[in-house]
Structure 1
Amino acid sequence: MLMEHWIMIAMWLFGFAGFILFIPRKDQRKGILAFLVLQAIIWLCDMITFAFGWQSAPVRLLPKATDMPLTLDYFFYPVLFAIYYVNKKSKGSLWPRFIYFFVWISVLSLFDIVIEKYTDLLEYELLKRNLMWIYFGFLFYVSHFCCNWFFKDKTLFQTERRWGT
């Protein structure tokens, strides 16, 4: 079995374990929504980058079905965003929130660069490594905005409702 297949298996295992361990049970709805929102947005953006040949994925799951890396784009990055979104601090000063965002995007970009440099899971053709930081920042910001918009009205998510009073 190729090293890339072992890495994909590890991403699936760490993704499931991360979702279970780092998202509290009370926040799993938020985590699932964040997971699905990033999946939808990354699908739209990566459809363009892979269609125009800016990126490629030589080793991937279901190679005849799609040119995109399913493990990275549709599972691992969305799980990481769900963990980020659920554990973020929404209140407080702007600097700690910016630093939290900056660290997550930097670590994710570094992971992506390592995956691209040392494996065949990703190859950047026209899209360069330094642009991936901006790309991940855009994906996280738009997904964060959409999730905040969805959870804006707290009265929709109350567990106890009184009808007729």
Structure 2
Amino acid sequence: MNKNRDKRIEIAVWIVTSFLLIVFIPKNKIREAQVSFLFKQLLTWIFGLIVVERNLITYPTRTFFSKSNKSSFTFEYFVYPSLCALFNTHYPYHKNLGFKFLYFFLHSAGITITEAVLEKYTSLIKYNKWHWHWTFITIWLTYYTSHLYNKWFYRRN
């Protein structure tokens, strides 16, 4: 695999994710986005370290903090929490249950598909004893947990 290409991809992911946060987080929901971001960071820190330490996933090419721990700083501590902040700030509270289910499904599936493509074509992530469906399940569960926390924190019904 081409490490320079992988590093360019990782830097591009930072730029695109930052752009998404700046453009799609409304000013009146910045605090809500911060709460979602930090809570998701807590969850991904725990799950990410467990998965990496059990050698289920490895991150062969890491641009940032490659010597601090074995997980990916970019994906575990910035991208997933950022996407979760976007997820929660745009959550369709006033839609029907089917639409809410679809919202969860599309967000989880989008991340899972992107990760599977990166796993297949780059050295940014490698599945050792892991499968895409575990990614989908953990993303769904952490999004749901984050959503419940967000509802509780802001006292929403």
Instruction: Please give the range of the TM-score, normalised by the shorter of the 2 chains.
Output: over 0.9
Tell me if 1:146 matches 2:149: yes
| Matches of 1:65 and 1:48, distance apart in 2 | 15
In the TM superposition, residue 143 of structure 1 has moved relative to its aligned partner by 1.3
In the TM superposition, residue 91 of structure 1 has moved relative to its aligned partner by 1.8
| Matches of 2:138 and 2:130, distance apart in 1 | 10
| Matches of 1:43 and 1:148, distance apart in 2 | 21
In the TM superposition, residue 100 of structure 1 has moved relative to its aligned partner by 1.0
Tell me if 1:24 matches 2:51: no
Instruction: Give the partner amino acid of 2:34.
Output: I
Q: 2:56 aligns with which of 49, 54, 74?
A: 54
| Matches of 2:138 and 2:128, distance apart in 1 | 15
Instruction: Give the partner amino acid of 1:24.
Output: P
**What's 2:73 paired with?**
70
**What's 2:114 paired with?**
111
**What's 2:12 paired with?**
10
Gaps in structure 2 of 5+ consecutive residues: none
Instruction: Give the partner amino acid of 1:109.
Output: T
Query: Between Structure 1 and Structure 2, how many residues are aligned?
Result: 154
**What's 1:36 paired with?**
38
Instruction: Give the partner amino acid of 1:40.
Output: L
| Matches of 2:147 and 2:124, distance apart in 1 | 27
Tell me if 1:135 matches 2:138: yes
Q: What TM-score do you get using the length of structure 2 for normalisation?
A: 0.93
Q: Provide the secondary structure at the position in 2 that maps to 1:2.
A: helix
User: 1:110-144: CA deviations, max 9, x gaps?
Assistant: 01111111111111111112221111111111111
In the TM superposition, residue 24 of structure 1 has moved relative to its aligned partner by 0.5
In the TM superposition, residue 92 of structure 1 has moved relative to its aligned partner by 2.7
In the TM superposition, residue 63 of structure 1 has moved relative to its aligned partner by 1.6
Instruction: Give the partner amino acid of 2:123.
Output: D
Q: What TM-score do you get using the length of structure 1 for normalisation?
A: 0.89
Gaps in structure 1 of 5+ consecutive residues: 154-165
RMSD, aligned CA: 1.4
| Matches of 2:65 and 2:31, distance apart in 1 | 29
| Matches of 2:123 and 2:5, distance apart in 1 | 9
Tell me if 1:98 matches 2:101: yes
- Among all aligned residue pairs of Structure 1 and Structure 2, give the percentage whose two residues are the same amino acid: 27
| Matches of 2:87 and 2:67, distance apart in 1 | 32
